Amino acid sequence: MTNNKRITIDPITRLEGHGKIEIFLDDKGDVERAFLQIPELRGFEQFAVGRPAEEMPRITPRICGVCPTAHHMASTKTLDDLFHVEPTPTGRMIRELIYNAFQFEDHTLHFFFLGGPDFVVGPQAPAGDRNILGVIGKVGLEIGGKVIRARREAREIINYLGGKIIHPVCGLPGGVSKALDEEHRVQFLDSAKFIVEFSQFALQIFDDIVLKNKEYVDIVVGDAYQIKTYYMGLVDEKNKVNFYDGDIRVVEPEGKEFAKFKARDYLDHISEHVEPWTYVKFPFLKNIGWKGFVEGKDSGVYRVAPLARLNASDGMATPLAQEHYEKMYEVLGEKPSHHTLAFHWARLIEALQASESMVQLLENKDILDPNIRNIPTETPTEGVGVVEAPRGTLFHHYKTDEKGIITEANLIVATVNNAAAINMSIEKAAKALIKGGKVTEGLLNMTEMAFRAYDPCHACGTHALPGDMPLVIKIYDKDRELVKQLKK
């Protein structure tokens, strides 16, 4: 059919590069298909070849400058496996400290600066107010200052131990390059305690502003933002959420455990589908198969990231976070929850677990042990490393020659796991709001909100600044003439 209408939303985001949404209408003017296209590829899997394996933790973070610490850690863990060496207990503690600090600060960035302002300031508020300044306006200057301080102190920990907050460098097979001293332990413990308080307080804000407002709750549990998929996340031996290590667990849309496997076996469980119209690949559950962009138990589409991790677990690993976990499922009324907007809530609960874990790690003086690294003695071969990045399960897989030079690399990047689901969420929002060729103004808002809940990397850096996330929807008629333009 050539007489379709086409709607272009450009640019909507950045996964690896900025994305573009194309919506096609049928004869009746209803949505037929929506495509999220990612027009960028950089080819890390290929240019890793020939590099010394130990350099990978310094190369792969450039896949994403928003979550470089996740790549750094996944890569470092891959080196442990590849060189057949366990990190020393202290090496592991320092890595976990860095990683939890990162998880906290990234989640906080998202809630207060990027995706959260939709809620805190209100989805109906003028776009120009839906940013960190709007948040401060609503919750008060003192709180705004706390947000900035909590993030700064968490980032200071990563900066000190990792060298650089953007693209850390400290990971080596068997441990880390830099030890922690008592002076900094005390300082960081103070920060961590403040960060726990802050995280609880962030949940309180969510409670006051979102949960006490029926209108918001209705939006969260509304059908337009719901898709039923499988869920994936790392869990510890008690099936509790873990960001740094554990087994990968997958649950069915009804909540039953579907699979639980070790990082090394990921190829038995995950495959990636290629479409000719985007540079991004679409991962799916291999044992179900790729059935297209459809929901439900018969489709191999799964979701990752905060809500998915909570769905795939039996609880949180720390006590305060566990209380909130229980409350969340009570309010949402079902587990797993399929409400895309509940990702925001889950994100704050995870930030609390990360903060509590920081305190636990820093209260233990073993973290001061100078024995921070085991030097590998075995011949490197092949390794797989996995972590939970803020945006989902992240896989690194390298093979080397006997000198430890990379011969093959494979990466499944966090956000990419959600690529199919994001596409489906957008299509669903579009279908709900475009009827008979009539486009509601709310389309902009809803598409943006559906999309931002996944926190696909940098989606909206503009939210950090006065100004709005610019979005334009253009509607063309059958002759490709621009008939309408919506802008905010």
Partner 1 sequence: MSTEKPKVAFYWCASCGGCEEAVIDLAEDILKVVEAVDIVFWPVALDFKKKDVEAMKDGSIAVSFINGAVRLSEQEEMVKLLRQKSGLVVAFGSCSHLGGIPGLGNFWNKETIFRRAYLTTPSTDNPDGTVPLEKTEVDGKELTLPRFYDTVYTLDQVIDVDYYLPGCAPPPDLIMNALQAILEGKLPPKGAVLSPNKSLCDDCKRNESKPEKLTIKEIKRPWEVELDPEKCFLAQGVICMGPATRTGCGERCIEANMPCRGCFGPTDQVIDQGAKFLSSLASILDTDDEKEIEKIVDTIVDPAGTFYRFSLPSSIFRRRRMEDIK
**Sites for partner 1 among residues 154-173 (CB under 8 A):** 155, 161-170, 172-173
Q: How far is CA 149 from CA 145, 195, 196, 367, 373, in A?
A: 6, 9, 13, 24, 32
Q: Give CA–CA dist 372/365, Å, rounded.
A: 13
Rounded (5°) CA angle 465-167-273 = 90
Q: Give CA–CA dist 36/6, Å, rounded.
A: 13
Shortest distance (Å) from residue 172 CB to partner 1: 5
Q: Give CA–CA dist 128/110, Å, rounded.
A: 17
Q: Give CA–CA dist 243/392, Å, rounded.
A: 9
Query: Which residues are CB-neighbours of 421 under 8 A, at least 6 positions away?
Result: 227, 229, 301, 302, 303, 454
Shortest distance (Å) from residue 40 CB to partner 1: 7
What part of residues 112-141 is at the interface with partner 1 (CB under 8 A)? 113
Q: Give CA–CA dist 278/18, Å, rounded.
A: 12
Shortest distance (Å) from residue 209 CB to partner 1: 24
| Residue 436 sits in the site that holds partner 1 (CB under 8 A) | no
Shortest distance (Å) from residue 41 CB to partner 1: 6
What part of residues 274-293 is at the interface with partner 1 (CB under 8 A)? 274-279, 281, 283, 286, 290
Query: Which residues are CB-neighbours of 461 under 8 A, at least 6 positions away?
Result: 114
Binder of partner 1 out of 28, 62, 238, 478 (CB under 8 A):
62
What part of residues 208-267 is at the interface with partner 1 (CB under 8 A)? 266-267
What part of residues 9-48 is at the interface with partner 1 (CB under 8 A)? 10-11, 13-14, 17-18, 22, 24, 33, 35, 37, 39-43, 45-47
What part of residues 359-378 is at the interface with partner 1 (CB under 8 A)? 373, 375-376
Q: Are 308 and 248 in contact (CB under 8 A)?
A: no
What part of residues 448-467 is at the interface with partner 1 (CB under 8 A)? 457-462, 464-467
- 241 vs 414 by CB, closer to partner 1: 414
- Compute φ and ψ for 329, nearest 5 degrees: -70, -30
Binder of partner 1 out of 64, 180, 195, 387 (CB under 8 A):
64
- Compute φ and ψ for 23, nearest 5 degrees: -115, 130
Q: Give CA–CA dist 427/430, Å, rounded.
A: 5
Binder of partner 1 out of 7, 31, 63, 241 (CB under 8 A):
63
Binder of partner 1 out of 187, 226, 271, 381 (CB under 8 A):
271
Binder of partner 1 out of 214, 365, 403, 438 (CB under 8 A):
403
Judged by CB under 8 A, the number of residues near partner 1 is 97
- 66 vs 205 by CB, closer to partner 1: 66
